[in-house]
Amino acid sequence: MWTLFQIELFKIFRRPRTYIAFAAITALIGMVQLGLKVDGKEYASFVMADFNSSFALEGNLLNGYFVCFIVLQLLLIHVPLLIALIAADMISGEANTGTLLLLMTKPISRIEFILAKYLASMVYTILLLVWVALQALFLSMLIFGTDDMFIMKSSYAVLIRSDDVFWRYAGAFCFAALAMTTVAALGFLLSLFAENSIGPIVATMSVIIVSTLLSTMNIPLFNLVKPYLFTTHMITWKEFFDLQVNELNEAIPGTLAYPEKIKNSSIILLTHIFVFVGAAAIIFKRKDVLS
Amino acid sequence: MAIISVQQLSKQYGSFTAVNQLSFTVEKGDVYGFLGQNGAGKSTTIRMLMTLIEPTAGEIRIFDLPLSNHRKEILRQTGAVIEKPEVYPYLSAYDNLRLFARLSGVKLSRSQYMQQLEQVGLANRAHDKVTTFSQGMKQRLGIGIALVHNPQLIVLDEPTNGLDPQGIADIRNLLLWLSREQKKTILISSHLLSEIEQVATRLLIIDKGKKMVEGSAQQLFDPSKTLVELQTTHVAAARTKLQASSWGSHLRASGHDNIRLQMDKNDIPRLNRDLVQLEIDVLSLQQQHSLEDYFLQVTAGKNYVDTFSN
């Protein structure tokens, strides 16, 4: 199993396609950072337009923490596509090139093969998020500096002290890793049903788009399935940036407003991963390898 | 000792029967030629032997172990090339070989890997990416991968596909060396019957998933059962004359423009003399001893099966 896992990682990181996602993320984040560096003040005053009449805000509003939040809001919609590029190709790519035929003549267990491949795609997903963190958070901190973080919610605003932000980002990135490995698991499962990479990649994206629509539309029929859709829970990372308040409506540093929401979403995402990977293992064990 | 024992093996795809109650045995040290026309069920059978597809019915035992329960143990001692062996194009030949060796459970030294590549004529391209290789070079690499863990049983499905004549000759020599010097057991299927003819010690011909003929190459090439094809201007008249002569019992099923006889190879000059005496105008008189002739007769005309199986 360990050997298989090492080999899968070796294969992933020797493929040129792997680095497309890293390059795309670098370009996307770089563009946002450049835009905010050049015209950031205008953007911030536009965002704060409603508040400026009631509040007097001082300090570096457009700091690295705030920029990272903007980047994550924009990027975490697109990262699933980049993950699908690799995850949905894990089995179908081998079938397409014909290497699956040779692999399956080797003394390796099919279940171990599937698990090693999924673990390798998990590592890829996590490394992609680490890359996002390095670019979006650390580079933004260097470019824009640090200060307290001001976030606007739908009906209220949250001000997080600068010494209370970092652990929230650590939590948010860990949660995003869980959400993205769920996407990887879905792509991985779908990759069993095709002998080319395009089909499973498109299918993965289609499932995500349809599920996201169902998650966001407020229609009673859809509301029944919403709590069980993984896309509903993929945005729960934002809960790390909300604080509990005391009876005076003052934010309590070091707290989370809805920790149970994070816990429930994590359980639902983990369940999806187990179902997707379990189904992939069962199907692959019985599958005839024809190409 | 039987290395492969297949009993009543079948594979059904819906209403289509790809392999139909096939039974055969490959003994230790055999170079077992597996023949059949396209779609005869050769590849399906080989894929079942390599656990790529699940049989619908029947039993496969390899190294005297049931394949269904001892897959890993069996595959550890087996090397295979299934059709066009595809490897990772973005890796070098060396990296591909090392990767598949590790999957086969062995870790060799650099010089041992290079030796393996040398054996299949790729040492000078060891560090080039496979994407720059021709199909023939990929085929050689596939064979190198099949042999890298020093397996006891080698299964080759169309191993000379895509190779040039020199490549085909190299693979033939390699197979002969593996069989004679290394004492490996080899199961080989090919549409190049002349290739099988030169290396196989035993043969199986299948058609529509069913066994037609199984036997040793010696039986096949038994000089006392040589087939001779006579082409003449008047086939019907010539046949009548031969029927009435001492050659009547040697006549076999014939085509519309030829007559076939089975006889001892040494009797061909006597037949030649008798044809002149019987005033039969001979256009040509040819020995049919190649495997290709047998193959076509067995799978197309379904004739002369007795010639071989006897």
Question: Looking at CA atoms only, how far is residue A188 from chain B in angstroms?
Answer: 20
CB contact under 8 A, A105 and B88: no
State whether A7 and B99 contact (CB < 8 Å): yes
Work out the number of other CB atoms within 10 angstroms of the CB of residue B229: 17
Contact A106 B142 (CB under 8 A): no
Which residues of A fall within a CB distance of 8 Å from B99?
7, 10-11
Contact B89 A97 (CB under 8 A): yes
**For the whole prediction, is pTM greater than 0.95?**
no
The pLDDT score that the predictor gives to residue B65 is 92
Nearest residue to A31 via CA among A127, A128, A139 = A139
A168: alpha, beta or left? (left if phi > 0; alpha if psi -120 to 50): alpha
Find the closest chain A residue to B44 by CA distance. A290
Chain B hits for A288, Cβ within 8 Å: 47, 52-54
Of B54, B89, B145, the CB nearest to A102: B145
pLDDT digits (tens, 9 = 90+) for A18-67: 888 889 889 989 998 898 888 877 777 777 776 666 766 677 778 889 88
Q: Is B11 helix (H, G, I), strand (E, B) or coil?
A: strand
In order of B27, B140, B186, the CA distances from B60 in angstroms are 14, 28, 16
**How is residue A86 written in tokens?**
């690799």
Which of the four pLDDT bands, split at 50, 70 and 90, describes residue B183? confident
pLDDT of residue B215: 77
B131 in reach of chain A (CB within 8 A): no
Q: What is the ipTM of this complex?
A: 0.79
| Closest-CA residue of chain A to B85 | A102
Output the average pLDDT for chain A: 87
Mean pLDDT across B170-193: 83
Contact B91 A98 (CB under 8 A): no
Question: How far is B102 from chain A, CA to nearest CA, in Å?
Answer: 7
Among the listed ranges A46-50, A158-162, B9-13, which one has the minimum average pLDDT value? Answer: A46-50
Q: What is the pLDDT of residue A26?
A: 92
Task: Please report the number of interchain residue pairs, chain A to chain B, with beta-carbon separation below 8 angstroms.
Answer: 76
Contacts of B86 in chain A (CB under 8 A): 97-99, 101-102
> For A210-255, how does the pLDDT look when each residue is reduced to its tens digit (9 = 90+)?
888 888 888 887 788 888 888 889 889 989 998 888 888 888 888 8
CA distance B223 to B203: 17
Does residue B255 sit in helix, strand or coil?
coil
Provide the CA A40 distance to its chain's centre, in angstroms: 25
Using a CB-CB cut-off of 8 Å, the residues of chain A touching B75 are 105-107
Q: Which of B52, B90, B102 sits opposite A105 (nearest CB)?
A: B52
> Is the Cβ of B273 closer than 8 Å to some Cβ of chain A?
no
Q: A105 vs B80: CB contact, 8 Å cut-off? A: yes
Please judge whether A102 and B86 are an interchain contact, meaning their C-beta atoms are less than 8 angstroms apart. Answer: yes
Residue of A7, A97, A288 lying closest to B103 (CB–CB): A7
Residue A144, both tokens: 């824009």
User: How many degrees, rounded to 5, is the angle at CA A34 between CA A29 and CA A37?
Assistant: 125
Of A16, A107, A288, the CB nearest to B52: A288
Q: What is the pLDDT of residues B117-173, one digit of tens each?
A: 988 888 889 899 999 988 778 888 888 899 889 899 999 988 877 677 877 787 788
pLDDT at B302 over 60: no
CB contact under 8 A, B54 and A109: no
